[in-house]
Amino acid sequence: MTVIDTPLWPHKNFAHWPSGFRAAICLTWDVDDETPVYSRPSTPLSEASEIEQRRYGIRRGLPLIVEMLKATGVPAAFYFPAYMARQWAAVVRSLSQSGYEIGGHGYLHEPVGNLQRHQEEEIIGESLDVLRSLSEKPIRGYRTPSWQFNLWTPELLTRAGVIYDSSLMGDIAPYALAVDSRTHLIEIPIHWYWDDVEYWGHTQVTRGHVIVPPSGVLQVWKAELDGVVEAGGSFVLTLHPHVSGRPGLLTAVRQFVDYAKTIEGLWFTTPGEIADYVKSTDQVPTVRLASTSPAVEYTRKLP
Ligand SMILES: [Zn+2]
Protein backbone atom coordinates (compact mmCIF):
# COMPACT_ATOMS: atom_id res chain seq x y z
CA MET A 1 0.00 0.00 0.00
CA THR A 2 1.27 3.45 -0.94
CA VAL A 3 0.57 6.39 1.33
CA ILE A 4 -0.58 9.60 -0.36
CA ASP A 5 -0.19 12.57 1.95
CA THR A 6 -2.53 14.92 0.11
CA PRO A 7 -6.07 16.26 0.50
CA LEU A 8 -8.65 13.53 0.06
CA TRP A 9 -10.95 14.89 -2.59
CA PRO A 10 -8.78 14.39 -5.69
CA HIS A 11 -9.13 10.75 -4.71
CA LYS A 12 -12.89 10.54 -4.96
CA ASN A 13 -14.04 6.95 -5.19
CA PHE A 14 -10.60 6.13 -3.77
CA ALA A 15 -11.64 2.72 -2.59
CA HIS A 16 -11.83 0.47 -5.57
CA TRP A 17 -14.16 -1.83 -3.73
CA PRO A 18 -14.02 -5.57 -4.31
CA SER A 19 -15.45 -6.65 -7.63
CA GLY A 20 -19.21 -6.20 -7.87
CA PHE A 21 -19.44 -3.61 -5.07
CA ARG A 22 -19.73 0.16 -5.32
CA ALA A 23 -20.00 1.09 -1.63
CA ALA A 24 -19.84 -0.51 1.82
CA ILE A 25 -22.03 -0.64 4.92
CA CYS A 26 -21.14 -1.81 8.45
CA LEU A 27 -23.40 -2.36 11.43
CA THR A 28 -21.52 -1.74 14.67
CA TRP A 29 -22.57 -1.82 18.31
CA ASP A 30 -20.75 -0.13 21.18
CA VAL A 31 -21.57 -2.17 24.27
CA ASP A 32 -21.13 0.71 26.73
CA ASP A 33 -23.96 -0.01 29.14
CA GLU A 34 -23.11 1.53 32.54
CA THR A 35 -19.39 2.15 31.95
CA PRO A 36 -19.75 5.89 31.15
CA VAL A 37 -21.39 6.33 34.57
CA TYR A 38 -18.27 4.91 36.25
CA SER A 39 -15.84 7.02 34.22
CA ARG A 40 -17.71 10.33 34.53
CA PRO A 41 -17.10 11.77 37.99
CA SER A 42 -20.15 14.03 37.61
CA THR A 43 -22.56 11.08 37.72
CA PRO A 44 -23.36 9.84 41.25
CA LEU A 45 -22.48 6.15 41.48
CA SER A 46 -25.33 5.63 43.94
CA GLU A 47 -27.82 6.60 41.25
CA ALA A 48 -29.14 3.13 40.42
CA SER A 49 -31.81 4.02 37.89
CA GLU A 50 -29.25 5.26 35.34
CA ILE A 51 -27.22 2.06 35.78
CA GLU A 52 -30.25 -0.21 35.51
CA GLN A 53 -31.46 1.54 32.35
CA ARG A 54 -28.04 1.01 30.81
CA ARG A 55 -27.73 -2.62 31.93
CA TYR A 56 -30.80 -3.37 29.84
CA GLY A 57 -28.33 -3.29 26.95
CA ILE A 58 -26.41 -6.46 27.66
CA ARG A 59 -29.20 -8.12 29.62
CA ARG A 60 -32.00 -7.88 27.05
CA GLY A 61 -30.94 -5.64 24.14
CA LEU A 62 -27.96 -7.68 22.96
CA PRO A 63 -29.84 -11.01 22.68
CA LEU A 64 -32.53 -9.25 20.63
CA ILE A 65 -29.84 -7.70 18.41
CA VAL A 66 -28.16 -11.05 17.79
CA GLU A 67 -31.57 -12.52 16.93
CA MET A 68 -32.09 -9.70 14.40
CA LEU A 69 -28.61 -10.19 12.93
CA LYS A 70 -29.17 -13.93 12.52
CA ALA A 71 -32.57 -13.31 10.89
CA THR A 72 -31.11 -10.83 8.38
CA GLY A 73 -27.82 -12.72 7.88
CA VAL A 74 -25.65 -9.59 7.96
CA PRO A 75 -22.23 -9.28 9.65
CA ALA A 76 -21.57 -6.91 12.56
CA ALA A 77 -18.85 -5.62 14.86
CA PHE A 78 -19.09 -5.14 18.63
CA TYR A 79 -16.83 -2.74 20.52
CA PHE A 80 -16.53 -3.53 24.23
CA PRO A 81 -15.15 -1.44 27.09
CA ALA A 82 -12.91 -4.04 28.79
CA TYR A 83 -14.86 -3.76 32.05
CA MET A 84 -17.99 -4.97 30.23
CA ALA A 85 -16.03 -7.72 28.48
CA ARG A 86 -14.72 -9.00 31.84
CA GLN A 87 -18.16 -8.88 33.45
CA TRP A 88 -19.78 -10.63 30.48
CA ALA A 89 -16.93 -12.81 29.24
CA ALA A 90 -19.25 -15.59 28.02
CA VAL A 91 -21.11 -13.07 25.84
CA VAL A 92 -17.88 -11.86 24.22
CA ARG A 93 -16.75 -15.45 23.61
CA SER A 94 -20.11 -16.37 22.13
CA LEU A 95 -20.18 -13.35 19.77
CA SER A 96 -16.64 -14.10 18.66
CA GLN A 97 -17.40 -17.79 18.13
CA SER A 98 -20.41 -16.79 16.04
CA GLY A 99 -18.08 -14.89 13.72
CA TYR A 100 -18.83 -11.32 14.82
CA GLU A 101 -15.95 -8.89 14.95
CA ILE A 102 -14.81 -7.72 18.42
CA GLY A 103 -12.94 -4.46 19.01
CA GLY A 104 -11.72 -2.27 21.87
CA HIS A 105 -13.59 0.68 23.39
CA GLY A 106 -11.57 1.83 26.42
CA TYR A 107 -11.53 0.09 29.79
CA LEU A 108 -14.30 2.02 31.52
CA HIS A 109 -15.28 4.21 28.58
CA GLU A 110 -12.82 6.87 29.75
CA PRO A 111 -13.19 10.29 28.02
CA VAL A 112 -9.98 10.21 25.96
CA GLY A 113 -9.72 14.00 25.71
CA ASN A 114 -9.10 14.18 29.49
CA LEU A 115 -6.27 11.63 29.45
CA GLN A 116 -2.56 12.20 29.42
CA ARG A 117 -0.58 10.20 26.94
CA HIS A 118 0.73 7.63 29.43
CA GLN A 119 -2.77 7.11 30.89
CA GLU A 120 -4.27 6.53 27.46
CA GLU A 121 -1.48 4.12 26.56
CA GLU A 122 -2.09 2.10 29.71
CA ILE A 123 -5.85 1.94 29.09
CA ILE A 124 -5.43 0.84 25.46
CA GLY A 125 -2.93 -1.87 26.44
CA GLU A 126 -4.90 -3.24 29.39
CA SER A 127 -8.24 -3.18 27.59
CA LEU A 128 -6.88 -4.99 24.55
CA ASP A 129 -5.28 -7.64 26.80
CA VAL A 130 -8.71 -8.42 28.24
CA LEU A 131 -10.39 -8.66 24.84
CA ARG A 132 -7.58 -10.73 23.38
CA SER A 133 -8.00 -13.27 26.17
CA LEU A 134 -11.67 -13.72 25.19
CA SER A 135 -11.77 -13.46 21.41
CA GLU A 136 -11.36 -16.31 18.94
CA LYS A 137 -9.68 -14.00 16.46
CA PRO A 138 -6.96 -11.35 16.93
CA ILE A 139 -8.29 -7.96 18.12
CA ARG A 140 -7.19 -5.43 15.51
CA GLY A 141 -9.79 -2.68 15.74
CA TYR A 142 -10.55 0.10 18.19
CA ARG A 143 -13.20 2.75 18.68
CA THR A 144 -12.37 5.49 21.16
CA PRO A 145 -15.03 6.17 23.85
CA SER A 146 -17.37 8.98 22.74
CA TRP A 147 -15.13 9.29 19.66
CA GLN A 148 -12.70 11.57 21.49
CA PHE A 149 -9.22 11.42 20.02
CA ASN A 150 -5.78 12.81 20.86
CA LEU A 151 -3.05 13.68 18.36
CA TRP A 152 -0.97 10.81 19.74
CA THR A 153 -3.80 8.24 19.65
CA PRO A 154 -2.83 6.71 16.24
CA GLU A 155 0.69 6.05 17.50
CA LEU A 156 -0.54 4.39 20.70
CA LEU A 157 -3.00 2.22 18.80
CA THR A 158 -0.55 1.04 16.15
CA ARG A 159 2.00 0.24 18.88
CA ALA A 160 -0.64 -1.88 20.57
CA GLY A 161 -1.12 -3.93 17.40
CA VAL A 162 -4.29 -2.21 16.20
CA ILE A 163 -4.61 -1.78 12.42
CA TYR A 164 -7.75 0.33 12.25
CA ASP A 165 -9.71 2.87 14.23
CA SER A 166 -13.36 3.86 13.76
CA SER A 167 -13.81 7.14 15.67
CA LEU A 168 -13.30 10.09 13.31
CA MET A 169 -15.43 11.95 10.79
CA GLY A 170 -12.85 13.24 8.30
CA ASP A 171 -14.39 11.58 5.25
CA ILE A 172 -17.19 9.29 4.07
CA ALA A 173 -14.74 6.58 2.98
CA PRO A 174 -11.75 4.88 4.61
CA TYR A 175 -8.52 6.84 4.83
CA ALA A 176 -5.30 6.56 6.78
CA LEU A 177 -3.77 8.47 9.70
CA ALA A 178 -0.02 8.81 9.37
CA VAL A 179 2.03 7.90 12.43
CA ASP A 180 5.43 8.28 10.78
CA SER A 181 6.79 7.87 7.26
CA ARG A 182 6.26 4.12 7.36
CA THR A 183 3.41 3.57 9.82
CA HIS A 184 -0.23 4.51 9.61
CA LEU A 185 -3.58 3.58 11.08
CA ILE A 186 -6.54 2.90 8.80
CA GLU A 187 -9.53 5.09 9.72
CA ILE A 188 -13.04 3.78 9.05
CA PRO A 189 -15.10 6.95 9.57
CA ILE A 190 -18.30 7.33 11.56
CA HIS A 191 -20.67 10.26 12.14
CA TRP A 192 -23.11 11.61 14.72
CA TYR A 193 -25.88 11.28 12.10
CA TRP A 194 -25.11 7.56 11.88
CA ASP A 195 -25.63 6.93 15.58
CA ASP A 196 -28.66 5.99 17.71
CA VAL A 197 -27.86 7.97 20.89
CA GLU A 198 -28.19 11.29 19.10
CA TYR A 199 -31.84 10.54 18.33
CA TRP A 200 -32.94 8.17 21.08
CA GLY A 201 -30.52 8.67 23.98
CA HIS A 202 -32.64 9.68 26.97
CA THR A 203 -31.56 8.79 30.50
CA GLN A 204 -31.85 10.15 34.04
CA VAL A 205 -28.93 12.51 33.41
CA THR A 206 -29.85 13.52 29.85
CA ARG A 207 -33.59 14.02 30.19
CA GLY A 208 -33.51 17.25 28.19
CA HIS A 209 -32.66 15.18 25.14
CA VAL A 210 -35.62 15.19 22.72
CA ILE A 211 -36.60 11.76 21.41
CA VAL A 212 -36.91 11.53 17.61
CA PRO A 213 -39.56 9.22 16.10
CA PRO A 214 -38.07 6.10 14.44
CA SER A 215 -39.58 7.18 11.10
CA GLY A 216 -37.57 10.43 11.23
CA VAL A 217 -34.37 8.57 12.06
CA LEU A 218 -34.96 6.13 9.21
CA GLN A 219 -35.39 9.11 6.90
CA VAL A 220 -31.99 10.54 7.90
CA TRP A 221 -30.18 7.19 7.73
CA LYS A 222 -31.66 6.33 4.32
CA ALA A 223 -30.77 9.75 2.88
CA GLU A 224 -27.25 9.51 4.27
CA LEU A 225 -26.80 5.96 2.98
CA ASP A 226 -28.06 6.93 -0.48
CA GLY A 227 -25.53 9.78 -0.56
CA VAL A 228 -22.66 7.58 0.56
CA VAL A 229 -23.53 4.92 -2.03
CA GLU A 230 -23.65 7.57 -4.73
CA ALA A 231 -20.20 8.78 -3.69
CA GLY A 232 -18.80 5.24 -3.50
CA GLY A 233 -17.97 5.48 0.21
CA SER A 234 -18.61 3.55 3.41
CA PHE A 235 -21.52 3.95 5.84
CA VAL A 236 -20.78 2.84 9.40
CA LEU A 237 -23.83 2.75 11.66
CA THR A 238 -22.96 3.05 15.36
CA LEU A 239 -25.58 1.63 17.73
CA HIS A 240 -25.80 0.84 21.44
CA PRO A 241 -27.63 -2.15 22.95
CA HIS A 242 -29.05 -0.03 25.80
CA VAL A 243 -30.56 2.40 23.27
CA SER A 244 -31.65 0.72 20.03
CA GLY A 245 -31.74 -2.73 21.66
CA ARG A 246 -35.27 -1.80 22.69
CA PRO A 247 -37.79 -3.77 20.61
CA GLY A 248 -39.52 -0.86 18.87
CA LEU A 249 -36.30 0.91 17.96
CA LEU A 250 -34.66 -2.34 16.89
CA THR A 251 -37.55 -2.78 14.46
CA ALA A 252 -36.47 0.51 12.86
CA VAL A 253 -32.87 -0.74 12.65
CA ARG A 254 -34.17 -3.93 11.01
CA GLN A 255 -36.16 -1.82 8.51
CA PHE A 256 -33.01 0.11 7.71
CA VAL A 257 -31.09 -3.13 7.13
CA ASP A 258 -33.89 -4.38 4.87
CA TYR A 259 -33.72 -1.11 2.92
CA ALA A 260 -29.92 -1.32 2.59
CA LYS A 261 -30.24 -4.88 1.27
CA THR A 262 -32.27 -3.60 -1.66
CA ILE A 263 -29.36 -1.41 -2.85
CA GLU A 264 -27.45 -3.11 -5.61
CA GLY A 265 -23.68 -3.36 -5.18
CA LEU A 266 -23.67 -2.50 -1.47
CA TRP A 267 -21.09 -4.54 0.47
CA PHE A 268 -22.33 -5.62 3.93
CA THR A 269 -19.09 -6.00 5.81
CA THR A 270 -17.20 -5.05 8.99
CA PRO A 271 -14.64 -2.30 9.65
CA GLY A 272 -11.96 -5.00 10.06
CA GLU A 273 -12.69 -6.46 6.63
CA ILE A 274 -12.62 -2.98 5.10
CA ALA A 275 -9.27 -2.27 6.79
CA ASP A 276 -7.82 -5.52 5.43
CA TYR A 277 -9.11 -4.71 1.99
CA VAL A 278 -7.81 -1.14 2.00
CA LYS A 279 -4.39 -2.33 3.13
CA SER A 280 -4.30 -4.75 0.21
CA THR A 281 -5.05 -2.03 -2.37
CA ASP A 282 -2.50 0.10 -4.15
CA GLN A 283 -3.05 3.38 -2.41
CA VAL A 284 -4.97 5.08 0.35
CA PRO A 285 -5.40 8.81 1.03
CA THR A 286 -3.56 9.70 4.21
CA VAL A 287 -3.74 12.64 6.57
CA ARG A 288 -1.48 13.78 9.39
CA LEU A 289 -3.32 15.00 12.45
CA ALA A 290 -1.99 18.36 13.61
CA SER A 291 -2.86 20.79 16.38
CA THR A 292 -2.39 23.88 14.25
CA SER A 293 -3.22 24.87 10.71
CA PRO A 294 -2.41 27.91 8.56
CA ALA A 295 -5.88 29.26 9.37
CA VAL A 296 -5.24 29.00 13.11
CA GLU A 297 -1.88 30.71 12.71
CA TYR A 298 -3.54 33.47 10.70
CA THR A 299 -6.31 34.20 13.18
CA ARG A 300 -3.77 34.39 16.00
CA LYS A 301 -2.19 37.33 14.21
CA LEU A 302 -5.44 39.27 14.07
CA PRO A 303 -5.77 42.18 16.51
ZN1 LIG B 1 -19.25 4.22 23.77
Instruction: Give the distance (Å) from ligand 1 centre to CA of residue 80.
Output: 8
Mean pLDDT of 11-20: 70
How many domains in the chain? 1
Instruction: Give the distance (Å) from ligand 1 centre to CA of residue 147.
Output: 8
Instruction: Give the distance (Å) from ligand 1 centre to CA of residue 296.
Output: 30
Give me the domain span that covers residue 267. Answer: 2-42+49-301
Instruction: Give the distance (Å) from ligand 1 centre to CA of residue 283.
Output: 31
pLDDT of residue 5: 53
pLDDT digits (tens, 9 = 90+) for 129-183: 999 999 989 999 999 999 999 999 999 999 999 999 999 999 999 999 999 888 9
Instruction: Give the distance (Å) from ligand 1 centre to CA of residue 166.
Output: 12
Instruction: Give the distance (Å) from ligand 1 centre to CA of residue 197.
Output: 10
Instruction: Give the distance (Å) from ligand 1 centre to CA of residue 282.
Output: 33
Share of the chain above pLDDT 70, in %: 89
pLDDT of residue 2: 46
Instruction: Give the distance (Å) from ligand 1 centre to CA of residue 26.
Output: 17
This prediction has a pTM of: 0.92
pLDDT of residue 182: 86
pLDDT digits (tens, 9 = 90+) for 242-286: 999 999 999 999 999 999 999 999 999 999 999 999 998 867 888
Instruction: Give the distance (Å) from ligand 1 centre to CA of residue 260.
Output: 24
pLDDT digits (tens, 9 = 90+) for 73-102: 999 999 999 999 999 999 999 999 999 999
pLDDT at 3 over 80: no
Instruction: Give the distance (Å) from ligand 1 centre to CA of residue 49.
Output: 19
Please state, in angstroms and as integers, the Cα–Cα distance from residue 46 to each residue in 38, 43, 108, 242, following that order.
10, 9, 17, 19
Residue 294: band (very low, low, confident or very high) from pLDDT cuts 50, 70, 90: low
pLDDT at 238 over 80: yes
Instruction: Give the distance (Å) from ligand 1 centre to CA of residue 300.
Output: 35
The dihedrals phi and psi of 161, each to the nearest 5 degrees, come to 90, 15
pLDDT at 296 over 50: no
CATH at residue 227: 3.20.20.370
Instruction: Give the distance (Å) from ligand 1 centre to CA of residue 274.
Output: 21
pLDDT at 14 over 60: no
Share of the chain above pLDDT 90, in %: 73
pLDDT of residue 165: 98
Instruction: Give the distance (Å) from ligand 1 centre to CA of residue 146.
Output: 5
Instruction: Specify the higher pLDDT residue, 183 or 224.
Output: 224
Instruction: Give the distance (Å) from ligand 1 centre to CA of residue 58.
Output: 13
3-state secondary structure the chain: CEEECCCCHHHCCCCCCCCCCCEEEEEEEECCCCHHHHHCCCCCCCCHHHHHHHHHHHHHHHHHHHHHHHHHCCCCEEEECHHHHHHCHHHHHHHHHCCCEEEECCCCCCCHHHCCHHHHHHHHHHHHHHHHHHCCCCCCEECCHHHCCCCCHHHHHHHCCCCEECCCCCCCCCEEEECCCCCEEEECCCCHHHECHHHHCCCCCCCCCCCCCHHHHHHHHHHHHHHHHHHCCEEEEEECHHHHCCHHHHHHHHHHHHHHHCCCCEEEECHHHHHHHHHHCCEEEEECCCCCCHHHHHHHHCC
Judging by beta carbons within 10 Å of its beta carbon (0-12, 13-18, 19+), is residue 280 exposed, middle or buried?
exposed
Mean pLDDT of 182-203: 94
Instruction: Give the distance (Å) from ligand 1 centre to CA of residue 81.
Output: 8
Residue 297: band (very low, low, confident or very high) from pLDDT cuts 50, 70, 90: very low
pLDDT of residue 303: 47
